Amino acid sequence: MPELNPKSFALAGGILWAACIFITTLISSYTGYAADFLNIVESVYPGYTITPVGSIIGAIYAFIDMFIGMYILIWLYNYFEKR
């Protein structure tokens, strides 16, 4: 079985998570939807707030967070798959 590409998976995961945080924050800033979830995210990402500007900050943090996590996950997967 061929190895999975960590960079491709990390980019895809980072973009997806950043888009989720961005869109959910924008919706929540106007309607209050998912405020409890975003309050947890707010406690994890410094400087992030449930505001339109916060949606950009959250998207940046989310991309970096998921990029690193997915890269490590796929790297570990490839490592154990070889064994």
**11 pLDDT more than 80:** yes
* Residue carrying the six token digits 């590409």: 5
For the stretch 14-54, pLDDT in tens is 999 999 999 999 999 999 999 999 999 999 999 999 999 99
For residue 2, pLDDT beyond 90: no
Sign of the Cα pseudo-torsion (48, 67, 81, 4, in order): positive
Mean residue pLDDT of the chain comes to 97
Q: What pTM was computed for the model?
A: 0.93
- Return the pLDDT at 83: 85
Dig out the tokens for 20 from the structure.
């989720």
Query: In percent, how much of the chain has pLDDT > 70?
Result: 100
Residue-range domain boundaries for the chain: 17-82
